[in-house]
Structure 1
Amino acid sequence: MKKKKNRFPKKTALLLGAAALLLLGSTVGSTRAALTYYSENYVAGVEMSSIGITLLENGKTVGARNYDKNGEWMVTGGELLGDLLKDGELLVPGKPYDEQLEVRNSGNIDSYVRVIVTKSWTDKEGNEVPVTTLDPNLIDLHVTEANGWAEDTSARTAERGIWYLNGALKAGESVDFADYLSIAPAIRDMMTKSVEQSGNATTYTYTYDYDGYSFRVGISAEAVQTHNAADAVKSAWGVDISDVITNVSGN
């Protein structure tokens, strides 16, 4: 008779997300764009004892979900992108703005982690703008690949990128994910010109194609336990761990 192997439960591990919506507007004749913003943080997941993950922005926690010793989830949240601009400052396309994003293993077991970045545009009515109208790649959240992050290019779309950390993130340790955010300067050239003739006078009016549009950036950090990693990662993320993480340990 074959003995049954004890396997770690195949459950979706911890999910943590932080999302922000930023409004990008403009005035005719200006090469700058006014920026206002609000943010909404969200968390979701299922119970997994001793696991936890925290997302930090410029050293401050903007989202966390941790399983405590009493068997309850401890959830914290804060404003994302709240300090991107100083009071009265206008966003300048092409200028990098400090956006130090950091992922911390706030549990007490080693974990594999990934981060999902989503980017999109919406029009004045809040409808999503097709990528053929305004490219989400104009929104640049710069990922610090030197820290061990690698993108799963097979999962890349115009609006989404998935990044895996190579190797386990040890309990209590942190790793930088991104260091700045900018809007590509090419957006300044996206304008429509109209010409009006009145007698001997000619009036040229330039209207930015993105006037009144909004750009949306979403960050979701996720963790999976290293124990029985192949099954755990396959169950949680639907991928083979060897395809996305080269340095695998703790199986």
Structure 2
Amino acid sequence: MHTTIAIQPVTENTAPVSTAVNCARCGMQKFCLPTNLKPEDVQRLDRIIMRRRRIERGTNLYRMNDAFSRIYAIRFGHFKTYQVNPRGEQQINGFQMPGELLGLDAIGAERHQCGAVALEDSEVCEIPFDKLEGLLGDIPELLRHFHRLIGQEITREQNAMLLLATMRAEQRVAIFLTNLGARLAARGYAEHRFQLRMMREEVGNYLGLTVESVSRLISRFRHSGLLRVANREVEILDPVRMREIAAGVRLDA
């Protein structure tokens, strides 16, 4: 059912990085931090962040089973997270964008349960987890925010399992597009017109569909007036009907 994607060997990124970190001036602050955090507490967080790190397209930020020592806040760019089964097949379990955290999966086991690869040239802020734990104990607002982020991560995983287990193919694609648009809109981008940072093979792998099925459904959505597609740029022309298909109340595309 899943598309097999070979894992390409990569070299860890050695591009220069910026060491100047200022959360208060970052455009992604409202996603990474609670809105009521005091300025002095934001400064304390600045002091523990190791650096901003550039990750080139196609490069692993970390791999499965790597030892856990830090989490990463995406400053710009997009990532995919994946697991590899015993046959060496890659299963994508998420796509991440600016303002989201990577590495939360490793907190319990102290090893990364998945790998993370940049879908484009990206930048992350590295946050040592041992130092963050100290701040969480001192700053209740930050602790509550961190708990919310973990809860959102669990909810996303549960929704992905439901998506693969019970939903029709056209519903999976509709949910993927509407959710992606909503996440982008929360960051100030257009909700119904955006560029896919991932390939159709990767979308199919994530949704449990073949690339042929994804292409066929996108073509059907285009012909029915739901979508306009040009290369990787997608425009949802009928958001109401797309949401109805995503919700399962409308089965025709």
TM over 0.5: no
Specify the TM-score bucket, using the shorter chain as the normaliser. Answer: under 0.3
**Could you tell me the TM-score, scaled by structure 1's length?**
0.26
Name whichever structure is richer in strand by fraction: 1
TM-score w.r.t. the length of structure 2 is 0.26
Q: Mark the structure with the bigger radius of gyration.
A: 1
